[in-house]
Structure 1
Amino acid sequence: MSTPARGRFAGADPHVAPEPERSALVLVDVQVDFADGGASPVPGTSEVVPALVRLLRAFRRAGRPVVHVVRLYDGDDVDLPRRTLLAAGAPVVRPGSPGSQIVADLLPAGAPALDPQRLLAGEFQQLGPREWAMWKPRWGAFHRTRLEEHLRALDVTTVVLAGCNFPNCPRATAYGASERDLRVLLVRDAISGLLPGHEAEAARIGVLAAATTEVEDLVAATGEA
């Protein structure tokens, strides 16, 4: 049964309105190499880390699932535009490297280092209670991965999406989720590279957007009677 939309989403189309009680937080590519000081920093990524920390706290407190999606550039199994760069030896998110790790502020207490062997084999590595890391080989987190299967097993209908560089991987992930009839909520102040026209573009496929504070309230309300 669908959960009624709350607050500012109460008037949204019921087929796309978020269902916070069946939501998961999906963070895309928030890794050391893509933050300030990394091998390939993406502008604005370090700046959204505080908002990501707040989202993570909200989802952890509510007991909602979290998936950290990561890139690991291994051999030729990378996007075509990156192959020349990596063949030349660029030290970007190489498996097992310090730069491939998730930004430390986002990890739950006691989280292990990423295990590239398990991740590259398509496994979900548990980082904490109801919190996992997974590898994606291309832009979108659903391409050649078990993310849909993982979310369905957790009874998730709503992907709350945040992370690094909207024009590339978060956008592809939003489209992949929509193609699988999952509801998508972008966290506008927790995604680097999100420009003014992107929200309107995403809205055409039913993707909604909200600020971190609004998502915190939605998720906190899932524990209310």
Structure 2
Amino acid sequence: MSRALVIVDIQRDYFPGGAMPLEGPEEAAANAGRVLKTFRAAGDPVLHVQHLSPAGAGFLEEGTPGVEIADAVRPAAGEVVVRKDAPNAFLRTDLEQRLRALDIDEVVVVGMMTSMCVDATTRAGADLGFRMTLVPDACAAPALEHDGRRVAGADVHAAFVAALGQAYATVTPASEIA
């Protein structure tokens, strides 16, 4: 069995001072960096995903500092960067083709936002037949509001991880990725 790490949208706009700061992005990025180090040391493939939004989108706008990939997971020479414009990293990109060309069975996912792009990418990967592993402490989510009620980012994150763990992914903390 071969595996690949897919790092979804760990970009500057999700950190303090960015256009859409999440809850706990620094810790999530640090854990993602540890997972990345493990994959690099093992010689396993790493694919970075970078979201690029058009001007006026409010965040992750192409050409702004906010789209830059965070230092904790900065791509190394030779590592693939897949650029996308939708939450699902498989939609209108060559991510699936790249993974299939590498004969990947298992896709390990880290990234931002748990409630949007991580969720969409994990579900799509499972639907495409990949064995998905989600690293929850290497992901972060925003606080959201519904029906006049604020939902804390930690609760948003927990709800999405719990749902993904039921049918779409094996949920494994960063410390257990070897």
TM-score by length of 1: 0.68
**Paired amino acid for 2:13:** D
Note if 1:67 corresponds to 2:47.
yes
> 1:99 and 1:197, CA in 2 relative to 1: closer, same or farther beyond 3 A?
closer
* Correspondence for 2:88 among 133, 140, 148: 140
**Paired amino acid for 2:140:** S
> Following the alignment from structure 1 to structure 2, what is the Cα–Cα distance between the partners of residues 170 and 23?
17
> Following the alignment from structure 2 to structure 1, what is the Cα–Cα distance between the partners of residues 122 and 100?
16
Task: Name the Cα RMSD after superposition.
Answer: 1.7
The 5 Å alignment of 1:189-208 reads 189-193=137-141, 195-208=157-170
> Following the alignment from structure 1 to structure 2, what is the Cα–Cα distance between the partners of residues 157 and 64?
12
Percent identical residues: 34
SS in 1 for 2:133: strand
> Shift in Å at residue 128 of structure 1?
1.9
Note if 1:168 corresponds to 2:130.
no
Deviation track 1:10-34 (CA, whole Å, cap 9, x = no partner) reads xxxxxxxxxxxx1111111111111
Deviation track 1:131-165 (CA, whole Å, cap 9, x = no partner) reads 21111111111111111000010111111001112
Could you tell me which residue of structure 1 aligns to residue 77 of structure 2? 128
Question: Going by fraction, where is strand more abundant, 1 or 2?
Answer: 2
Where structure 1 has 5 or more consecutive residues not aligned to the other structure, the ranges are 4-21, 76-84, 109-126, 218-225
Note if 1:51 corresponds to 2:13.
no
SS in 2 for 1:39: coil
* Correspondence for 2:63 among 66, 75, 96: 96
Larger Rg: 1
> Shift in Å at residue 210 of structure 1?
0.6
**Paired amino acid for 2:27:** E
Where structure 2 has 5 or more consecutive residues not aligned to the other structure, the ranges are 142-155
| Number of residue pairs matched by the alignment | 164
TM-score by length of 2: 0.85
